[in-house]
Structures are given as C-alpha cells and as structure tokens.
C-alpha cells in the first residue's frame, strides 16, 4: 500500500524505507512545505482502526511533542489520512542521519569514558522527560540514535507512561523489553522514573561488556534473573567510578538506585575522574553457619513467589510482543550516500567506524543474545567523509 512516491496529506512524499515490522514502518520523506528531510513513522492500517493502538500511537506523538531537548528526537507533526481507501496514522519526526547504538555495539563495546559520556547524555534526556511527568519505559540501544557528531538522541516513546494519565495497557499485560525491564515491573503496576534509571544501567553494562547482564533462552529466564540474580561482575579493567554508576543503577530495589536521572547524569560525568583506587575488595562470602541458619521454608516460599512474578511478567511480555514499544523496525536494505555515524571515543574524538555499515533510523535486536566480544575500539583520527546537507 505504501511505497516510494506515496504522498501523505499532500505534503510528505515517502522516499526510502528505513525499517519496518509488524506494527508499521518508518520512511525517509520530503516535506514539500518546508523543503526538508523528515522521518515518517506510519502505523499499520489495521492498528489505526484499533482504538487502543491508535490512542497509544497518538500518545507517543504528544509525549515527544512536549519535550524540547537536544537529547530527544523532535516531533514535527501527527495526522491521519487515507491511502488507497485505508485509514493511516502517521508521525513526522526529525530525520537523524545516524545509526542506532544497537548497531554501534555490534562492532564491539565502548570504553569506560565513552560509556559514561553516553550515560550522562541519555540521563539528561530522561530527566527532561521525567520533569514533564513522562517515563520512557523502553530505554535500550535500539532506541538510542547516535548523531553524526557523536551526540545521542532518545527516540521511540511508543510505550511511554504519563504519571498523570490513565493506563492504556490492558490488565495482565506489560509493555517492555525483557532484557531491560526493571524487577519491580514484574510485581507492580506502578511505573516510576526508577525503571528508566535501571534500563539505562543495563545499557551502560552492555556498552562496557558487549553483552546484556542477564540472558536466557526465554523471557521467563531473563526476567527471573532480573528479579533474583546478582549483577555479573564487570571486567576488571572497568574503573571503580563507572563500575559504581552501573552497579547502583542496577540495584533490585528502586530506592537503592540513583534517586533521579539528573543524579545519575552527574555521577556519570564525575566517574571517569574518580580518585578511588582501581582495586576493589570482593563482596563478603557468607559463612557456612550463616547459610545453615536460613529457614528453608521461608527461602523456598520466596523463590516460589519470585518465579510466579517472573512467569506472570514474561507471559504479559509475550502477550504484548506485537505492541511492545512499537518495536517494529527491522533494517531495510542499505542505501548509498548515507553518512556514517561515529560514536564517542575515549579521547573525545569520534571512533572510526566501518564505512560499509549503512545508517538506519532504528532497529530492534532479534534476541538478547551475547553481542560481539570484539575488543574495544581504540580512538583514531577521523577519516574524511562526505557531508550531507
């Protein structure tokens, strides 16, 4: 139904398809009125006719439109029109000629300083959202765009939650990405900014290691680990400052995490210059006597409750897999002439990336499987590359 040359409301002419999936598609388009390139996110016609999906899509537009921050992708327009007799809802956004952090991490992890700089920028963007009463709820590399100058932009507010609005999510459903879900989302309907702090902690861990902290073959296994398992130890070459930023963000209890996104941003900015020693004492090991005094019945009961919570949350995730965060973007075929994005490097100079990698608006990783274990890239002088207007 949609294709290159399709015009929406006599203004937006679709060009290259940047990505798509079960929920809809994203296209690069030309704005005939203002003469600029834009990204147009189109909801599938069948979902446009679904009141809940259509309302959630409109809420995304409103959530993003209220935010004015360099770390958030701008929204320009929203509307509904007819294409070949079918109603189509669309969202017009800033076109970011970059690539997702997810794609960047496929080439290897980032260094501690680059990771902390990224965390600070994303936390600043989240702080702006939280100040407007908006919780993103789906912070992950696929929803973080790296601009050509190395700055990061937060996008996809498809499952954002307004603390002042009513719940659109049906009873028994949970909208999230299992690899990044905060533990409390398994047992509570309350959505607070702490869930974004936790998810950003997962992103930071992934940047430093190239893998998710909690992995599994099913959502149940992953969620169970979020609820129960200790944080896998970061590599020994991660300094204490960045280590503390990540580990505190990943605390199981919301009150034990960074108290706010601004607090996490400040900690991340201070972390690379942390004067702490590079050696850390391992956590104390409980004595056999202490272990033997734990009431077996209470421990078993706790495990059963945790498993039930994990099963409930995983079932909800599976039930809403089609709508989780409007995570619809699979990479389209590479297009030529696209500027390659460079992520932040330890030296502050963009890291030289593989120029053969195309830029896309965003993509969703197929699974939370272990990423490439390629050693961290070392900073090099940027290569000359053509610029685009």
- Dist CA 274 CA 81 (whole Å): 54
Cβ atoms of residues 200 and 126 within 8 Å: yes
Go through 202-224 and write b for each residue having 16 or more CB atoms within 10 A of its CB, e for each that does not.
bbbbbbbbbbbbbebeebbebbb
- Judge whether 41 is annotated as a binding position: yes
Q: Which residues pair with 153 in a beta bridge?
A: 145
Q: How far apart are the first and last CA of the chain?
A: 30
**Signed CA dihedral, 40, 360, 120, 264: sign only:** positive
Q: Which entry of 30, 138, 156, 196 is annotated as an active-site residue?
A: 138
35: left (phi over 0), alpha (psi -120 to 50) or beta: left
Q: Which residues pair with 115 in a beta bridge?
A: none
Cβ atoms of residues 55 and 17 within 8 Å: no
**DSSP string for 275-308:** -S-S--PPPPPPPHHHHHTS-HHHHHHHHHHHHH
- Residue bearing tokens 């896309």: 360
- Residue 16 among the catalytic residues: no
Positions annotated as catalytic residues are 138
Binding residues for ATP: 41
Binding residues: 41
């Amino acid at each position: 139904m949609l294709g290159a040359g399709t015009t929406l409301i006599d203004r937006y002419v679709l060009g290259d398809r940047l990505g798509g999936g079960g929920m809809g598609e994203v296209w690069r388009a030309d704005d005939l009125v203002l003469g600029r390139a834009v990204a147009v996110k189109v909801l599938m016609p069948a979902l446009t006719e679904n009141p809940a999906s259509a309302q959630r899509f409109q809420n995304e537009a409103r959530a993003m439109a209220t935010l004015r921050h360099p770390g958030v992708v701008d929204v320009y327009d929203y509307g509904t029109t007819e294409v070949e007799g079918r109603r189509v809802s669309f969202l017009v956004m800033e076109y970011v000629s970059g690539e997702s952090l997810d794609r960047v991490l496929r080439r290897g992890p980032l260094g501690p300083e680059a990771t902390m700089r990224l965390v600070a920028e994303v936390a600043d963007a989240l702080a702006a959202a939280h100040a407007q009463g908006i919780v993103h709820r789906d912070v992950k590399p696929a929803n973080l765009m790296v601009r050509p100058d190395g700055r990061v932009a937060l996008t996809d507010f498809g499952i954002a939650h307004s603390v002042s609005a009513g719940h659109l999510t049906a009873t028994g459903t949970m909208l999230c990405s299992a690899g990044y879900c905060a533990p409390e989302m398994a047992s509570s309907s309350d959505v607070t900014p702490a869930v974004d702090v936790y998810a950003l902690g997962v992103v930071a861990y992934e940047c430093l290691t190239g893998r998710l902290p909690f992995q599994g073959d099913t959502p149940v296994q992953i969620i169970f680990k979020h609820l129960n398992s200790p944080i896998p130890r970061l590599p020994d070459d991660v300094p204490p400052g960045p280590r503390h930023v990540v580990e505190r963000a990943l605390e199981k209890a919301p009150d034990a995490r960074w108290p706010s996104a601004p607090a996490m941003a400040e900690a991340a900015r201070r972390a690379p210059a942390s004067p702490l020693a590079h050696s850390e004492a391992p956590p104390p090991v409980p004595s056999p006597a202490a272990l033997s005094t734990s009431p077996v019945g209470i421990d078993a009961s706790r495990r059963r409750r945790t498993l039930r919570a994990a099963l409930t949350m995983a079932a909800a995730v599976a039930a809403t897999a089609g709508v989780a965060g409007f995570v619809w973007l699979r990479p389209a075929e590479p297009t030529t002439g696209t500027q390659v994005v460079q992520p932040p490097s330890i030296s502050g100079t963009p890291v030289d990336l593989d120029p053969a990698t195309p830029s896309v608006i965003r993509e969703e990783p197929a699974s939370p499987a272990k990423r490439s274990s390629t050693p961290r890239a070392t900073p090099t002088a940027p290569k000359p590359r053509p610029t685009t207007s």
